[in-house]
Structure 1
Amino acid sequence: MNSTIIMVAKSFCCGKKSVSLVSQSSAGAKSVPHKSSASVGVTSSATSTTQASSATVASSGNATSSSAVTSPTRMSKDQPADSKLASAKRTSGKKYPNDFIFGKVIGEGSFSTVYLAKEISTNKEYAIKVLEKKHIVREKKTQYVMREKEVLTSVSNHPFFIRLYCTFQDTDRLYFVLSYARRGELLDYLRKLSSFDESCTRFYSAEIVTALEYLNGLGIIHRDLKPENILLNDRMHIQITDFGSAKIIGKDDVQQNEEKNSRESGQPEGSRENRNTQRRKSFVGTAQYVSPEVLTSKSTFSSDLWALGCIIYQLHSGLPPFWGNHEYQIFQKILKLEYEFPDGFNPVAKDLVQKLLVLDSTKRLGCPEVGGFGPLKKHPFFEGINWDQLWEQDPPDLIPYLPATPSNPSLWSNYRPGLDDARIGEIITETVITEDQRKELLEKQARENDFHRFVKGNLILKQGLVDKRKGLFARRRMLLLTEGPHLYYVDPVNKVLKGEIPWSIDLRPEAKNFKIYFVHTPNRTYYLEDPFSHAQEWVHKIQEVWQRYYGHH
C-alpha cells in the first residue's frame, strides 16, 4: 500500500504544466482540518508547486458555497522550530498547509472534502480540496484525480471555469487550491425560485454553450454537467466545476478498463439481466442528465450537449425532463426519449431542447456532424446574445418563470385583489382563543377532520386546497396552517404528508392576484395557487399567525 501511495504522490505532482513534486514530510505533517469544526488550523510540512499566485476569487470544485470563515484559528504547535528553515520556506514560492487558515467545510465529494481557507500572507480566500491518499488508492480513484488535475490545469485561464491555483501534498493527503465561488451553486437559486424566466435561462445557457465550445476545442468531455456543478462567482457568472468524470479525447482511456471491471456480474454477456446491470453500474455522471450513449459506455462531445438540453429544460420548467423513483426507471425513460413539456413552456426554448435531446448523438444541434457550435449559437432562442462579450456583461436579475396559464390567465396583473366571502372547502379558525375553546375545537377536529392525523396534535387555523407549483409543474395539495406555527401540505387523494413549509422570523407571504400567492422563506419561495380565489385570505391569515409568534421580536 505504501509504495502505491508514493506512486500516487509522484503522479499527482507531475504533469505537462507543473514541476515534479517529491513528498518529504516532517513528523508534524499529519494535522488536517476536522469536518466537525467550524474553523480549524492546519500545520504540515510538504513540497508544492504554484501555478498562479493571484486572481479574482471565483469558485470551487465539488463545493457548496458558504460564507466567509467564522472565527478562524491556526495551530502553532507543529510549526518548525528552526526559524531559518521557516524563512526559507516562505521565500521558496512553494505552498504548505500551514500557509493557510482552514475554515468550515463547504463541500464534500465522494473521495474529497473542500474547506474554505484563507491564505495568511495575502488574506485571500480559496476553496481547498483535500483528498486522502489511502482512500484514493483503496477505491482505485487515482486516474480520476489525475484527470481532474490535468483538466483543471487546461481550463484555468477561461472565465467560465474554476481556477486551479496550485497543488501540494503532505504524507497522507493531496491538496487542490481552487478559486472560491462566493455565490454558490446555480442549483441553489433554481431551488429557491423553482424556475428562471426566459432572459435568465437564455443568458446562463449561452454561458454554458461558450464553456462547452471551449472544452470541445481542448478535446475534453465533462460528462457530469448539471446545475449542481455550475457555480456562480461574485458577479453571478458561471464557473463550471467537478471534472472527476471528465474524458480527454486522444489520451489512454483508463476509465474504460475501470468501467469494464465494474460491469462484470458473472452472467452471460448478452443476457438481458447483464445488460441492465451494465447500464446501472457503468454509466458516468448523474442519472437525470446522462445521455443515452453514456449508458452504453460510449462518450462523445455530443454527450455534454444532451446535458445542456436537460439543463435548459430544467431552468425553464423547474424539473429535469427525465425523472423517476429510481435510477433504472430514469434510464428507461432516457433510452425511450420519454418526456413531456408542461403548459407554458416557451415554444422557442422547446424547439432548442428538442434539437438537443436527440437519441442519435450525431444529430444533436452543436455536434461536429451537424456543423459544430455555430448553428447552435445561431438558434433563435439565443437571439440578442453578444457571444464575444458575455463575460463583460452584467447577468440579468434572477426572476422566476411564471407565465399565464389557462387556469390563471393574468398571473402578473397589476391590480390589487380584494376579498371573497366564499368559504368553499376551507376551514378558518380564530388565532386567539381561550384554552377551553382550543380543547373543544381539537376534540372536534380529531373526530371530524381527516387531516387531523398529519398535524401532530396542533389545532388547524386554516385549511384549503392549493396547487403547489414548482416551475411550470403543479400538484394539488391540502394546505394546513396550524399552531406552532406550521404549514403542512398533504396529498389529498392518497392522504400522504408531502412536506412542510419551514417557519421562521424571515417567512413572508405575498399575494400576486386573487389566485396566486407566494410564501417566501430564506432558502426557497413557494408558489401557491388557490383554485377558489382566496389568495388574499391566506396571506392575511399567515401574517396574523406570524404576528402572534414573531411580532414581539
Structure 2
Amino acid sequence: MAAEGEATASTPSSPCTTVVAPTKIVKLPHIPTIVEGKRVLTVDDFRIIRVLGEGGQGLVLLVQDHVTDRLFALKVISKDSVKYLDHVAKVLIEKDAMQALAGNPFFVGIKGSFEDEDNFLFLMDYYPGGTLHEKIQRVGRLPMWMARRYAAQLILAMEELHRHRIIHRDIKPKNILLTDHDQVVISDFGIARMFGRTAAEERSKYKATPACDDITTTECGTEAYIAPETRYFKYSYEVDVWAVAVTIYEMLHGKLPFGYDGGLTKRSARVNAVFGIIKIDSELDSDAVDLLKSMFERDAHKRPTWEQIKKHRWFDTM
C-alpha cells in the first residue's frame, strides 16, 4: 500500500491520474495482457472503483474484474518517479520480494507484474479489512486481547520474512493490511533489503536462520518507526524488531512512543528514541510492559529474537 509520512520528495503527479476538483478521476494506463487460467486479461477487463492510497511514487487503485467481479489492488508506479537506477532497482526488489513470498497468507499476494511506457504495475490481492492504522484511528487503543492477537501474527510473519533474508525496513500499521477474517498481511516492500540477489552475496535466498553477516547501511523508513542504529551504524534484521515494538506500543496506547504524537518536534522525539526515553502506561499488563522494554533495547545485538519473543509470557494465554 502507499506509504505515507516518509521523508521523500514531494509527490509527483502520476501520468495515470487526472485531478478534477473536488473528485479524482483516474484513467487506467494500458496494461499488457496477463494470463489468468485460460483467460487473457487486458485493461478492458478491469474497472476502477476508487483510489486506495497514494505515495511519492504513484498510487494504489481498487479495480474489479468485469467477468468475475473479483476485486484486486493495482499498484501503479510512475516511471517519472523512479528515473534513477537505484530507484528502478527498488521496484524490482519489491516485485522479487512479493514473488519470493507468494502463497504465504501473511504477505500481500501478487497476481502479475508488468509495465507500459509510463508505469510499472503490480496486480495484487485486495484486502477488505483496510489497514491496522485505520483500525487504530477508529478504535483508539486496542483491547489487550486484540493487540496480542495481531502482535502474535505479526511476529510469525516477520520470522518468515527474515528466513527469506528480507529486511522490510518500513513495518508500521499503515503497511499492515487486515483480511476479512481479521488476519494481518504485510504489504509494501518498496524499501525492503533482500539479500542473496547478487553473486557477491550467498546465493541461497532462504535460510532457517538469517545470515549474521547480512548487513546494510542505507538510512530509510518512516521516522517514528526507525531503530536508533539505522541512523548511525551498519544494521541488520533487528531494525524490524524495533518497528514491530513501535507497532505493538501504538496498538496498546493508541499513539506513537517517544513523543512523536505528543507535540514534540521530530528532533526531540528522535533524541528520545535514540536514548530510550519512553513513557509506557503504568496500567498496562506487566507482561506487555516487559515485552516492550525488551524489544526497545537500544543495543541491537541485545534485542530479543523472534523465537525469544514468541516464548515471552505475554503470549502464554494464547
The bucket for the TM-score relative to the shorter chain is 0.7 to 0.9
Cα distance in 2, alignment partners of residues 43 and 184 from structure 1: 25
Deviating 4+ runs (over 4 angstroms): 35-41
Cα distance in 2, alignment partners of residues 286 and 376 from structure 1: 23
Cα distance in 2, alignment partners of residues 43 and 334 from structure 1: 43
Choose from 246, 265, 270 the match for 1:331: 270
In the alignment, what sits opposite 2:143? 197
Q: In the TM superposition, what are the counterparts of 1:100-499 in structure 2 within 5 Å?
A: 100-137=46-83, 141-252=87-198, 283-296=219-232, 298-324=234-260, 325-366=264-305, 373-385=306-318
3-state SS of paired residue (2:52): strand
Is the contact between residue 239 and residue 300 of structure 2 (CA under 8 Å) also seen in structure 1?
yes
Cα distance in 1, alignment partners of residues 280 and 199 from structure 2: 37
Identity %: 27
Matched letter for residue 110 of structure 2: L
* Structure having greater relative contact order (Cα 8 Å, sep ≥ 6): 2
Cα distance in 1, alignment partners of residues 273 and 138 from structure 2: 27
Cα distance in 2, alignment partners of residues 356 and 48 from structure 1: 46
Cα distance in 2, alignment partners of residues 127 and 341 from structure 1: 37
3-state SS of paired residue (1:244): coil
In the alignment, what sits opposite 1:4? none
Distance 1:253 1:339, change over 3 A: farther
The gaps in structure 2 that reach 5 residues or longer are: 1-14, 201-217
Cα distance in 2, alignment partners of residues 349 and 253 from structure 1: 43
How far the C-alpha of 1:287 sits from its partner, in A, is: 1.3
Cα distance in 2, alignment partners of residues 139 and 249 from structure 1: 18
Matched letter for residue 105 of structure 1: V
How far the C-alpha of 1:102 sits from its partner, in A, is: 2.0
Matched letter for residue 337 of structure 1: G
Is the contact between residue 34 and residue 42 of structure 2 (CA under 8 Å) also seen in structure 1?
no
Q: In the TM superposition, what are the counterparts of 1:80-91 in structure 2 within 5 Å?
A: none
3-state SS of paired residue (1:309): helix
1:262-294: CA deviation from partner (whole Å, max 9, x where unpaired): xxxxxxxxxxxxxxxxxxxx6211111111111
3-state SS of paired residue (2:114): strand
How far the C-alpha of 1:322 sits from its partner, in A, is: 1.8
TM-score normalized with structure 1 length: 0.48
Choose from 30, 34, 37 the match for 2:18: 34
Cα distance in 1, alignment partners of residues 244 and 120 from structure 2: 32
Cα distance in 2, alignment partners of residues 190 and 312 from structure 1: 11
In the alignment, what sits opposite 2:210? none
Matched letter for residue 97 of structure 2: V
3-state SS of paired residue (1:116): strand
Is the contact between residue 56 and residue 81 of structure 2 (CA under 8 Å) also seen in structure 1?
no
1:244-263: CA deviation from partner (whole Å, max 9, x where unpaired): 11111234599xxxxxxxxx
Alpha-carbon RMSD across the aligned residues, in angstroms, is 2.5
How far the C-alpha of 1:302 sits from its partner, in A, is: 1.2
Is the contact between residue 43 and residue 98 of structure 1 (CA under 8 Å) also seen in structure 2?
no
Is the contact between residue 19 and residue 25 of structure 2 (CA under 8 Å) also seen in structure 1?
no
1:297-337: CA deviation from partner (whole Å, max 9, x where unpaired): 52311111111111111211222222343332222111111
Matched letter for residue 143 of structure 1: A
Is the contact between residue 40 and residue 103 of structure 1 (CA under 8 Å) also seen in structure 2?
no
Matched letter for residue 197 of structure 1: P
TM-score normalized with structure 2 length: 0.81
Distance 1:104 1:253, change over 3 A: farther
Select the structure of larger CA radius of gyration: 1
Cα distance in 2, alignment partners of residues 184 and 242 from structure 1: 14
3-state SS of paired residue (2:83): helix
How far the C-alpha of 1:165 sits from its partner, in A, is: 0.6
